[in-house]
């Protein structure tokens, strides 16, 4: 009996120092404390869900629910990114240095990281790929600094200003006049734009499971808040359903865009468009933040619920309606207006002769994007008109086009007008839905295109 007590006492004495030793070996926090700056505007009212989380049966429809990125049993490890380790439950400001500098002086780009204590998806947000698009910068700021990493499930990575050089110059482009969003995933030995794209993609984007690339309209144009997504990809379709009531516009994306490069690399990605360039629009920013918060909730990254009053409108087909002559453009419609076939969208008038043309809606639809009132040239893309269609209707039109049969569309595309009654111009053939991705992106005028 005495021997047993002696052995027990010896074991307890040996184990006593273990807690202190374990504490000394804990990982070093290589992150910065989270800033508690409040958003510019109070956040929208939220209803917190205090009910216990229960396991749900797996969804049978792969387009309605995304597969879980991780399970609760997996331990959360420090995130290794850009040469630093971000420990779970912390907020950090890292720095990405593009492979572009002048006189060997590099300009680091801030990267915000919220690494949750609980396992979950890894979501990335990029803004200001075009340096004059400001709304996305504010969306990232509000969302990132409203998070609590201690209660976050998963990781949120935000790059508020990708094109820092263009941002400082108030320009859409890089210093060599190239559009960065036509060079992804980039090349390490290519042009300056190729190298910047390659650096961002290789050092940050490849670490993402989901990506939202934030943009605005271009060239004095504004966009209704909307998602651009390849709805023929089942995983992207499922992802696009997680943004609440935001409008969704189908399109694969032009080659060289960040979204298309990411999807081709099996990263689920969408583009969010809201507002116009060189301006901060509170309504567009708030709407975008609400959609992103809804995404976090639907991905299971935090427990809060937002309520949307309208269903999510989906547009499988859209086209830019263009001016038939140059002059002063004056619009008669607003963003998100529903219009009827034959309705006047706006007029273009010659300021000297007082003659002009009315821009007519060739079909029923909704205004998803439009140019602000300005001086335009013939062929200028003035209104982006979306047409709500089912996938079956789109496929039927595509088959009809392949068979060589003309599409049924007898609506006038333009109507000439002056002080005399308007006359009808020949009808413009309405294009059927294609998967080229050309009309999926913002139009660029010939003088602004950069050729390699």
CATH of 316-446 among 3.90.550.10, 1.10.1330.10, 2.60.120.1440, 2.40.50.100: 2.40.50.100
pLDDT of 173 reads 96
CB atoms within 10 A of CB 265: 15
pLDDT of 451 reads 32
- What pLDDT, in 10s, does the model give residues 265-277? 999 999 999 999 9
Tokens of 184: 């992804």
| Higher pLDDT among residues 364 and 103, named by residue | 364
Please tell me the distance from the alpha carbon of residue 163 to that of residue 171, in angstroms, as a whole number. Answer: 9
How sure is the predictor about 49, in pLDDT bands with cuts at 50, 70 and 90? very low
Do the Cβ atoms of 216 and 137 come closer than 8 Å?
no
Fold: same for 79-298 and 316-446: no
User: How confident is the model over 358-384, as a mean pLDDT?
Assistant: 97
Q: What is the mean pLDDT of the chain?
A: 79
The secondary structure of residue 70, as a DSSP letter, is S
Can you give the residue ranges of every domain in the chain? 79-298, 316-446
Please tell me the distance from the alpha carbon of residue 36 to that of residue 27, in angstroms, as a whole number. Answer: 24
Please tell me the distance from the alpha carbon of residue 167 to that of residue 144, in angstroms, as a whole number. Answer: 20
Encode 278-346 in three state secondary structure: CCCCHHHHHHHHHHHHHHHHHCCCCCCECCCCCCCCEECEEEEEECCCCEEEEECCCCCCEECCCCEEE
Is pLDDT of 58 > 60? no
Surface-to-core class of residue 259, CB atoms within 10 Å of its CB (0-12 exposed, 13-18 middle, 19+ buried): buried
What is the tally of helices (H) and strands (E) in the chain?
A: 9, 21
Do the Cβ atoms of 249 and 272 come closer than 8 Å?
no
Is pLDDT of 422 > 90? no
CATH of 79-298 among 3.20.20.70, 1.10.260.40, 3.40.630.10, 3.60.15.10: 3.40.630.10
H/E element, 258:
helix 258-264
How sure is the predictor about 101, in pLDDT bands with cuts at 50, 70 and 90? low
DSSP assignments along 214-226, one per residue: EE---SSEEEEEE
Q: Closest Cα partner for 422 from 353, 360, 361, 376?
A: 360
Is pLDDT of 379 > 60? yes
pTM for this one?
A: 0.75
Please tell me the distance from the alpha carbon of residue 126 to that of residue 109, in angstroms, as a whole number. Answer: 12
- What pLDDT, in 10s, does the model give residues 401-416? 667 655 444 333 333 3
H/E element, 152:
none
- What pLDDT, in 10s, does the model give residues 139-196? 999 999 999 999 999 999 999 999 999 999 999 999 889 999 999 999 999 999 999 9
Q: Closest Cα partner for 273 from 239, 229, 322, 317?
A: 229
Please state the length of the chain.
452
- What pLDDT, in 10s, does the model give residues 294-346? 999 999 999 877 778 778 889 999 999 999 999 999 999 999 999 999 999 99
Q: What are phi and psi of 58, to 5 degrees?
A: -60, 145
Is pLDDT of 253 > 80? yes
Helix (H/G/I), strand (E/B), else coil: 3: helix
pLDDT of 424 reads 33
How sure is the predictor about 41, in pLDDT bands with cuts at 50, 70 and 90? very low
Is pLDDT of 279 > 70? yes
Q: Closest Cα partner for 204 from 108, 102, 77?
A: 108
Percent of the chain with pLDDT over 70: 69
HSE toward the beta carbon, residue 12, CA cutoff 13 A = 6
């Amino acid at each position: 009996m005495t021997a047993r007590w002696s052995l027990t006492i010896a074991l307890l004495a040996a184990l006593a120092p273990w807690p202190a030793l374990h504490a000394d070996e804990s990982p070093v926090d290589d992150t910065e404390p989270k800033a508690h700056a409040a958003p510019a505007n109070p956040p929208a009212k939220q209803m917190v869900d205090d009910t216990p989380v229960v396991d749900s049966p797996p969804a049978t429809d792969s387009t309605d629910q995304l597969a879980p990125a991780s399970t609760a049993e997996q331990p959360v490890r420090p995130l290794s990114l850009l040469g630093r380790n971000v420990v779970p439950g912390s907020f950090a400001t890292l720095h990405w240095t593009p492979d572009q500098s002048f006189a060997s002086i590099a300009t680091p780009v801030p990267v915000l990281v919220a690494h949750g204590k609980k396992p979950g998806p890894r979501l990335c947000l990029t803004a200001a790929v075009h340096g004059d698009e400001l709304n996305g910068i504010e969306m990232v700021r509000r969302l990132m600094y409203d998070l609590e990493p201690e209660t976050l499930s998963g990781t949120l990575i935000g790059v508020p200003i990708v094109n820092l050089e263009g941002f400082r110059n108030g320009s859409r482009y890089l210093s060599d006049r190239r559009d960065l969003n036509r060079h992804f995933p980039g090349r390490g030995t290519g042009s300056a734009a190729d190298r910047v794209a390659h650096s961002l993609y290789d050092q940050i984007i490849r670490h993402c499971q989901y990506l939202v690339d934030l943009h605005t309209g271009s060239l004095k144009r504004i966009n209704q808040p909307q998602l651009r997504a390849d709805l023929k990809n089942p995983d992207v379709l499922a992802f696009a359903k997680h943004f609440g009531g935001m409008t969704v516009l189908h399109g694969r994306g032009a080659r060289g865009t960040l979204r298309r490069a990411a999807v081709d690399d099996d990263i689920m990605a969408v583009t969010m468009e809201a507002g116009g360039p060189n301006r901060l629009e509170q309504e567009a920013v708030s709407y975008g933040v609400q959609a992103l918060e809804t995404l976090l909730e639907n991905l299971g990254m935090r427990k809060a619920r937002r309520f949307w009053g309208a269903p999510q409108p989906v547009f499988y087909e859209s086209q830019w309606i263009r001016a038939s002559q140059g002059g002063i453009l004056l619009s008669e419609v607003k963003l998100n207006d529903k219009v009827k076939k034959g309705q006047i969208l706006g007029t273009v008038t010659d300021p000297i002769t007082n003659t002009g043309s009315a821009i007519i809606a060739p079909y029923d639809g909704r205004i998803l994007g439009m140019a602000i009132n300005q001086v335009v040239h013939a062929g200028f893309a003035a209104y982006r008109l979306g047409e709500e269609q089912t996938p079956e209707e789109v496929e039927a039109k595509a088959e009809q086009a392949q068979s060589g049969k003309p599409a049924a569309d007898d609506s006038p595309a333009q109507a000439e007008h002056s002080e005399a009654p308007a006359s009808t111009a020949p009808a413009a053939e309405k294009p059927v839905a294609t998967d080229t991705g050309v009309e999926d992106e913002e139009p660029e005028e010939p003088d602004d295109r950069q050729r390699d």
